[in-house]
Chain A
Amino acid sequence: MWQQHLAILPILVPLLAALLQLLPWGDRPQPRRRAIGLLSSILTLILSIALLVQVNQDQMIVYALGNWSAPFGIVLMVDKLSALMMLITAILALPVLIYGCYAEDNLGSHFQALFQFQVMGIMGAFATGDIFNLFVFFEVLLISSYALLMHGGGKFRLRTTLHYVLLNLLGSALFLISVGTLYGVTGTLNMADLATQVQQLSGDQAALAKAGGMMLLIVFGIKAAILPLHFWLPQAYSTTTGVVAALFAIMTKVGVYAIVRVYTLIFGPEANELALIAHDWLWIMGLITMLAGAIGIIGARDLRLLVAYLVVISIGTLIATYSLNGVATTGAMLFYLIHSTFITGALFLLADLIAFERGKTASRIVSGKKMANHSAYSVMFLIAAIAIIGLPPLSGFVGKLMIMESASPTGASFWLWGAMLGATLIMLISVTRAGSKMLWHTLSGKANEQSAPLGKRAAVVMLLSLSVVMTLFASPIRNYTDDVAEQLYDIDQYPSRVLIKGVE
């Protein structure tokens, strides 16, 4: 039964690749490290596809590490949601790495290895079925992200990295406290086992578990950048290099994933006294996050900052939609999540390209000289803008339509519609203003000479074309995300599959 090992291979392959890349490779190590990195990313992508197919067939792969069975040992629990998130990570990582291989990795040491470690951490966070193991994988991805955020050096990066590190250290401490509280009350760390234990709590015990659960919300809120905890994001994403910011497009989604996992499986609708403890908060915070992001993009004077605030808006949309707590809304949310991951990744890379070719004016939203590949970037920006704003015909429109349509039976949809449409209008104004200022109002005179390599542009086109693919295959993808959501809300199957199957 080699197929069951598929669950761990997307974690092991990047780990092995990173270790290989760390070896001294002679005088010119970079080409070899790049080759290993690209090979690993392609392999991870293939494995993730195979994993998705396998999980689709078996419903869930439970992988007992060291063959220690479920409530006692640590298990990887790859259900459809995990497999989907792992596939998104793999698909995003490949073009970003291709972009990074064009000399971006020479700006600092060990970019290639850190990139693979980062992918490994993200994959592990998606795959694990144990809440303490989730903490460990969070740390793996955070440690790499600390170093990647510093990639390229410089004063501003140093300061934002310091903020980011300190904030996340605080988050890690809170994570441990909440995990400890949950363990103290329930005596287990396995997510599926926690789900059954939490259902039986009452009185004081339930109050303690609630405290633990709500503290987890703060931790995941920092990762996902939900409103009062989002202030690190615009600064961090806009000062780091484009390639790192593009990879980080998946990082906030790790937070969203953790929220979805914990507040559906453990504190979900069937947790009796602790049912849906976080959803009211998520609802309000999601809506206000959208608003905060919208205010941010109006004020942004830099294209990168603008894109960073677009990330904040998309997080708000995802969180608010998830908090409606329905199979249909979660299915729609997952579709939007896929779309927003790829398109914000593409936008960060595009902003980096534009900044490079504009030369002195960089990514500031002011008129500057023409770029060497001006028309190509204009078209790319147009496509990216249409997709991210949510104008027809691209996937942003489809995704927003799905969210609105799935939310409409509930009374809360009034606010969601209002917030989403309002945010969309502001996005439309701000993004078109940025585009017209940077791409139309060019200074007369000769165009800039410096031209980015073709491969970098190809990487952006790859990410952008995913939006087109998502539009063309919207129906099958939506069917799949609905499947994912259905499985996610079928909470009873988790303990039976994880706890019994793990023993074999």
Chain B
Amino acid sequence: METLYSVTVGILTACSVFLILRGRSFPVVVGITMLSYAVNLFLFSTGRLTIDGAPIYGTQETYADPLPQALVLTAIVIGFAMTAYSIILAVRARGEIGTDEVNQQDNSTEGNR
């Protein structure tokens, strides 16, 4: 289970890094969203992976660490708001500047697709 989990996080992170390194704001925003998923999964795993464990101490033989769950919840909320804001920004930048290139470039050059 641990292997599958870490491979999942790894693939998500690798994909997001690839997307973030693109030159247009839409892939970058998608990449950052994906990175936040990877981060949330990673955070969740820091309390060790337990199956069938309630996050309450003393009720069961196996119990899950409740703190990472709380952390992930916080991170999800913040990440969600930030993603929404960056999408709005990207859309406005597309509207006002007329291109969704992340960097300043002349409209004549095709840029790094």
Contacts and interface: CB of A to CB of B under 8 A. Distances in A.
Interface of A: 132, 136, 139, 143, 146, 150, 155, 158-159, 161-163, 165-166, 169-170, 172-173, 176-177, 179-181, 183-184, 189
A163 B5 CA distance: 32
A183 B104 CA distance: 40
Interface string B60-98: 000000011001001100110111011001101100110
B78 to A, nearest CB: 5
Interface of B: 20, 25, 28-29, 32, 35-36, 39-40, 42-43, 45-48, 67-68, 71, 74-75, 78-79, 81-83, 85-86, 89-90, 92-93, 96-97, 102, 104
A180 B92 contact: no
15 contacts: A146-B89, A158-B92, A159-B93, A162-B25, A162-B86, A162-B90, A166-B25, A169-B82, A169-B86, A172-B78, A176-B40, A176-B42, A177-B42, A179-B71, A189-B67
A158 B43 contact: no
Nearest to B17: A170
**Is chain A's interface secondary structure helix, strand, loop, or mixed overall?**
helix
Contact of A170 (B32, B42, B68, B78): B32
A181 B89 contact: no
A332 to B, nearest CB: 37
Q: Which of B25, B28, B35 has the most CB of A within 10 A?
A: B35
Nearest to B28: A166
A132 B46 CA distance: 14
Contacts of B68: 180, 183
A180 B43 contact: yes
Contacts of A158: 89, 92-93, 96-97
A189 B74 CA distance: 14
A136 B76 CA distance: 12
B78 A155 contact: no
A132 B96 CA distance: 37
A378 B82 CA distance: 43
A184 B46 contact: yes
A165 B39 contact: no
B85 A165 contact: yes
Given A166-B20, A169-B36, A173-B35, 4 more contacts: A166-B25, A169-B32, A173-B32, A176-B40
